[in-house]
A and B are shown apart, each in its own frame.
Chain A
């Protein structure tokens, strides 16, 4: 009996110990640290660490941007911050309500968690279902994770934290409520998921690709020096914006042309993806998702009322 218990323990203990995010903050600008995730999909192998989170160590305390995909990630992030600075965390900003950006909130329950009003509303509506789906995809990494709603409404404008003036922008192309954050001291632009770089963009809550394209133009017009995308590597040149514009325009035209041609949804998801997007991970997977999210709107735009009740 004891023998069996030992066997079981020896098998299960290492499995548990493996669930370690080992987050390594990388300094990308003065006072500014990035926790860069992979550009893969959610998986049990990565614990959902496919996202970029960051923090700014100001004289007035630490400002955190997004809290990651799980309670365990949030706690690991907190430890990683403490290893860099003794200063307390004074503010969390959430760029939007998607689970990989907000499910670490539990680890920041003692700090003001700020988000756009629309983000809180969306998280209130969808949070539990999003968290449930994360449990399905990521498994044990999620243990104990629960949705914690933001407790502070963020409005666009400039807020000062010590020696850093932080400009907050309320945009919406990705989810309808997207917060972009520009640190005016360093010029680092935290674009949230308005910018994906080398990773296909996701559209489950997008109000429309035209809105998103307008947001990209707004962001590019800011006095930035470094772009931190929500997913993918940071960049000092405008390449992420150009890739976003190229990809959004391609997707919009593909859906437009498909609807005008009466192409069926199941056919749309098999559309060829241009060679120039070969370096973007998960483009086929995200095309399948985007067709499901967006194509019905394009289709309806190309059809008219044909029932006899309409003719009367």
Chain B
């Protein structure tokens, strides 16, 4: 056995042992698709169902096109590599891949579309290589993903693409940053309207340090609403790109 294989083994053994010894616990929501998503989203990596990852949504979707979702992984502050969220029974399940890097707390608020009643998941990868999965259920009359756009009914909507409304709200030891970006977030499921959505966003500090990175998917509602909790003072820049290559830049004082 070459030293290289030995070295590889040595690297993998702790994780493998980890995986074997971890009991994921009982799935808190009735799901027919967990095994599929475990493979699809988490690559069959070790995980636990963990109620310290709080995934908060209303019990039912009053407006299936704008469902508020709050992902709270502050219990793992300083340990979080990334947060993945998805809606299991959506035709386009993926919501967001959020990487809070520096000064940004592992907390995110976002609004999404859902097509029918579904389990929702937020999986938090911590530095030890383990996924912590928070879950909730939402009821819905449905149709949020296939409903025609509201934005597109407003005359002159094209002129407003990329406009950002925002504000900072001070808290005790951090500040809340909220933004709303004018964008139709077309998911390609409405007849004759191709995919056109914001797929990337970054938060940067005044001195251009990367604070957080987000990949967004078309399950995110039109005119996306996002909120972050950030420690420390100073202006924050938000850089957004859509899949047509448009780039938008905003500065929240």
Chains A and B form a bound pair? yes
Residues of chain A having any CB pair with chain B under 8 Å: 133, 136, 261-262, 264-267, 269-270, 288-289, 292-293, 296, 299-300, 302-311
CA distance A68 to B237 in the complex (A): 54
Per the 8 Å Cβ criterion, residues 232-250 of B in contact with A are 238, 248-250
CA distance A82 to B167 in the complex (A): 61
CA distance A307 to B109 in the complex (A): 20
Q: Using Cβ atoms and an 8 Å threshold, which residues of chain B touch A292? A: 58, 62-63, 66, 68
Please tell me if B179 contacts chain A, counting CB pairs below 8 Å.
yes
Given contacts A292-B63, A300-B165, A304-B167, contact A262 B69 (CB under 8 A): no
Number of B residues with CB within 8 Å of any CB on chain A: 35
Sample 14 A-B pairs with CB under 8 A, ordered by A number.
A265-B109, A266-B58, A266-B109, A267-B56, A289-B62, A292-B58, A292-B63, A292-B66, A299-B178, A303-B178, A305-B163, A308-B249, A308-B251, A311-B251
Contact A307 B162 (CB under 8 A): yes
Contact B227 A262 (CB under 8 A): yes
Contact B62 A265 (CB under 8 A): no
Contact B180 A303 (CB under 8 A): yes
Chain A, Cβ-Cβ closest to B181: A307
Across the interface, A262 reaches (CB within 8 A) one of B59, B169, B180, B248, namely: B169
Q: Using Cβ atoms and an 8 Å threshold, which residues of chain A touch B179? A: 303, 306
Please tell me if B185 contacts chain A, counting CB pairs below 8 Å.
no
Q: Using Cβ atoms and an 8 Å threshold, which residues of chain B touch A299? A: 178, 180, 225
Prevailing SS type, chain B contact patch:
strand
Q: Least Cβ distance of A135 to chain B in Å? A: 10
Please tell me if B94 contacts chain A, counting CB pairs below 8 Å.
no
CA distance A292 to B248 in the complex (A): 27
Given contacts A265-B68, A267-B70, A288-B59, contact A307 B167 (CB under 8 A): no
Chain B, Cβ-Cβ closest to A136: B141
Q: Which of A136, A269, A288, A303 has the most CB of B within 10 A?
A: A303
Please tell me if B19 contacts chain A, counting CB pairs below 8 Å.
no
CA distance A107 to B193 in the complex (A): 42
Q: Least Cβ distance of B45 to chain A in Å? A: 28
Given contacts A266-B56, A266-B70, contact A306 B165 (CB under 8 A): yes
Q: Which of B62, B169, B225, B227 has the most CB of A within 10 A?
A: B62
Q: Using Cβ atoms and an 8 Å threshold, which residues of chain B touch A288? A: 58-60, 62
Q: Least Cβ distance of B134 to chain A in Å? A: 13
Contact A306 B162 (CB under 8 A): no
Chain A, Cβ-Cβ closest to B178: A262
Q: Least Cβ distance of A92 to chain B in Å? A: 28
Having A262-B178, A306-B167, one finds 17 other A-B pairs with CB under 8 Å, namely: A261-B169, A262-B227, A264-B70, A265-B68, A265-B109, A265-B225, A266-B109, A288-B62, A292-B63, A299-B178, A302-B167, A303-B167, A305-B163, A306-B179, A306-B253, A307-B248, A308-B249
CA distance A267 to B71 in the complex (A): 11
Q: Least Cβ distance of B87 to chain A in Å? A: 15
CA distance A310 to B181 in the complex (A): 13
Contact A264 B227 (CB under 8 A): yes
CA distance A65 to B171 in the complex (A): 51
Per the 8 Å Cβ criterion, residues 49-92 of B in contact with A are 56-60, 62-63, 66, 68-70
Chain B, Cβ-Cβ closest to A267: B70
CA distance A69 to B68 in the complex (A): 30
Contact A307 B250 (CB under 8 A): yes
Contact B66 A262 (CB under 8 A): no
Contact A264 B163 (CB under 8 A): no
Q: Least Cβ distance of A133 to chain B in Å? A: 6
Q: Which 6 pairs between the two chains have the least Cβ-Cβ distance?
A: A262-B169, A265-B68, A292-B62, A266-B70, A307-B164, A306-B166
Q: Using Cβ atoms and an 8 Å threshold, which residues of chain B touch A307? A: 162-164, 248-250
CA distance A265 to B167 in the complex (A): 15
Contact B227 A293 (CB under 8 A): no
Q: Using Cβ atoms and an 8 Å threshold, which residues of chain A touch B60? A: 288
Contact A306 B227 (CB under 8 A): no
Please tell me if B127 contacts chain A, counting CB pairs below 8 Å.
no
Q: Using Cβ atoms and an 8 Å threshold, which residues of chain A touch B164? A: 305-307
Contact B227 A309 (CB under 8 A): no
Chain B, Cβ-Cβ closest to A260: B169
CA distance A303 to B69 in the complex (A): 20
Q: Least Cβ distance of A62 to chain B in Å? A: 36
Q: Using Cβ atoms and an 8 Å threshold, which residues of chain A touch B176? A: 262
Q: Least Cβ distance of B53 to chain A in Å? A: 14
Q: Least Cβ distance of B175 to chain A in Å? A: 9
Given contacts A133-B141, A303-B178, contact A310 B109 (CB under 8 A): no
Chain A, Cβ-Cβ closest to B56: A266
Q: Which of A289, A300, A308, A310 has the most CB of B within 10 A?
A: A308
Please tell me if B111 contacts chain A, counting CB pairs below 8 Å.
yes
CA distance A300 to B225 in the complex (A): 11
